Structure 1
Amino acid sequence: MKEFKDRVAVITGAGSGIGLGIARALAARGMKLVLSDLNEETLAAAVAELSPTTSVVGRACNVAELDSVQALADYTIETYGAVHVLCNNAGIGLPTSATKMKLEDWKWIIDVDLWGPIYGVKVFLPLIEAQGEGHISSTSSMAGLLAAQMMGAYNVAKHGVIALMASLERELRARDSAVRASVLCPGPINTNISRNSVSFRPGQAKPKTDGARSGKLAKNIQASLEQGMQPNEVGELVANAIENDKFWILTHPHWAKGVQRQLDALRDDQTLTRV
């Protein structure tokens, strides 16, 4: 997709972090924006920040609910009459042992992190294809390529996002669609995903603690995020991928060495590398 000015982009999880970084990058290129988030306070702040530079509106959306995603699409068409880009970015994650995580948490994480992009593709793809060109990007993670311990549900969901987007991109190319797909696989990014995940965790899913190990891991993850890449840099990578029809968007490409080691082990002796 080469033209950005006056085209319309929808971004989920846009109130802060990577979503806001993507919104800033697309706004700088002249796109009209529909921002969505569950946190209406940060959403309003994002709309206020970007409104002096582009046409932008905000709408609360729970990506884990098909009706909410459909309402977001309806609002976009009512407001702008078209949509050209969708960034499925909303996501959550909690460090918990796969063997101890409550089923409610498994369902919650997979509903947001995997079903959210599935619903996004289902609802928005026909609208984007009707414009004759466009792009759908979904946020996965390096966890979608390398499944570390203590992040079971998150790993499962993020692997699923990569499979979803790879399947979509191949199908789009096979039928000569003018729409393209991409998948963002970030490493450590300076966001509040850990804190936000705790804030929006469904009440019934609050766990029996996983003990000191889980708590220590959570602190280590947050510390790593705070030292990570800035969201605005990620936004530029996403905008570049949209412009140049790139499928893979890697914030830390050197981490791909770990993926290669895993593939080498798979081929050579069928063992699983440590992550």
Structure 2
Amino acid sequence: MQNLPGKTAFVTGGASGIGLGIAKALLGADMNVVIADIRQDHLDVATKELSGGARVLALKLDVTDRADFTRAADAAEARFGNIHLLVNNAGVAVVGPTELATYADWDWVMGVNLGGVINGVTTILPRLLRHGEGGHIVNTSSMSGMVPVGGTTIYSTAKAAVLTMMETMRPELEARGVVCSAFCPGAVQSNIARAGETRPARLADSGYAEADRRRTEGGEFFHLYMTKEEVGQRVLAGILADELYILTHGEFLPGVTDRANAMIASVPVKRPQNEKYKATFAMLFNSSVWADEIARQKELKA
């Protein structure tokens, strides 16, 4: 997949924020780009900003609607032929104490942030494997999937699942020509604080209405966040390098380190190991993806 020119990318949530930044970078790498988004007004503005002419296809898509996803994938193939790169980026969020969460809060956030990713993989992965030209899947997780903090239970749960999905799919699919990457950004200038504007009426019962209002009225820290163009270039670099984890912010190193060390410290090493169990189920106790990624990162940083 390092040979991107002329190939086709399908980016969900592609009409603003992170998704638009990724679309810009991929267009700049001479790819055909499909931007799929639930908001037609954002699609209209993004199409003008990209100025990609016939190399850009804007599609209205609700990632939670499986039939709609199939329709969008078919439209992308009708326009450009085979899809080679899938970026599952569409996302929403609610923030606040866990006890305020309603079933509707859980269903909305999990439905988009995890269900939408599942729908993207299930719809497009068979197409990547079928054409045999190589492919890449990038799922937008978050540093909240690695270093979660209080008040983000629903969001962080979905993002952690997306992260694990890529770690699991990577060794299964890489040998078949499809590379899998988890994109875990820190704070980026985006519209996610206003995601409630697209929340379905059937899931309107929220325990976080006041918290959402405060988020949309905020923005005093926006200037501290990474721009969509910066993050788009970072994702492009991660795709070109086949990185498993595409990270953006070095400020998270202490949290990532402490989490890993806390897990290591919790392993009951003094308990006698069952050698027969160990030999029988050896494939469960480690994954080659981590050693491979360590080697890759050492080479990239050399």
State the TM-score, normalized to the length of structure 2. 0.82
The worse-fitting range, judged by mean Cα deviation, of 118-127 and 51-60 is 51-60
Taking the TM superposition and a 5 Å limit, the aligned residue runs for 1:217-232 are 218=215, 222-232=219-229
Which segments of 5 or more consecutive residues in structure 1 lack a partner in the other structure? 271-275
Alignment of 1:122-271 (within 5 A): 122-129=122-129, 130-173=131-174, 176-195=175-194, 197-207=195-205, 214=211, 218=215, 222-268=219-265
CA distance in 1 between partners of 2:250 and 2:76 (Å): 34
Q: For residue 251 of structure 1, what is the amino acid of its counterpart?
A: T
Q: Which runs of 5+ in 2 are unaligned?
A: 268-302
Q: Distance in 2 between matches of 1:182 and 1:109?
A: 21
**8 Å contact from structure 1 (residues 83, 131) kept in 2:** no
SS at match of 2:176: coil
SS in 1 for 2:156: helix
Tell me which amino acid in the other structure corresponds to 1:194: A
What per-residue deviation string (whole Å, max 9, x for no partner) do you get for residues 137-170 of structure 1? Answer: 0101011112211111101100010011111112
Go from structure 1 to structure 2 and tell me whether the alpha carbon gap of 1:222 and 1:94 turns closer, same or farther (over 3 Å shift).
farther
Query: What letter matches 2:109 in structure 1?
Result: I
Q: 1:185 to 1:192 in 2, by over 3 A?
A: same
1:273 maps to none
User: How far, CA to CA, are the matches of 1:135 and 1:61 in structure 2?
Assistant: 21
The 1-side partners of 2:178 and 2:207 are apart by 45
- Residue type of the alignment partner of 1:203: A
Q: Residues 23-56 of structure 1, C-alpha deviation per residue, up to 9 Å, x if partnerless?
A: 1001111111111101101112212222346611
Larger radius of gyration: 2
For the residues of structure 1 that align with 2:236 and 2:54, how far apart are their CA atoms? 16
The alpha carbon displacement at 1:219 in A equals 6.6
Deviation at 1:256, TM superposition (A): 2.9
SS at match of 2:109: helix
CA distance in 1: counterparts of 2:191 and 2:43, whole angstroms: 14
Distance in 2 (alpha carbons) for counterparts of 1:249 and 1:208: 32
Aligned to 2:36, what secondary structure does the other structure show? strand
Q: Is the 8 A contact 2:95 2:208 kept in 1?
A: no
Q: Say which is worse superposed, 163-172 or 47-56, in terms of deviation.
A: 47-56
Distance 1:68 1:216, change over 3 A: closer
Letter in 2 for 1:239: L
Structure-1 residue corresponding to 2:90 = 90
Structure 1 or 2: more helix by fraction: 2
The answer for the alignment partner of 1:26 in structure 2 is 26
Distance 2:17 2:35 in 1: 13
Mapped to 1, the partners of 2:224 and 2:235 lie a distance apart of 20
| % identity of equivalent residues | 31
2:192 aligned partner, one-letter code: I
1:37 corresponds in structure 2 to 37
Q: Which amino acid aligns with 1:14?
A: G
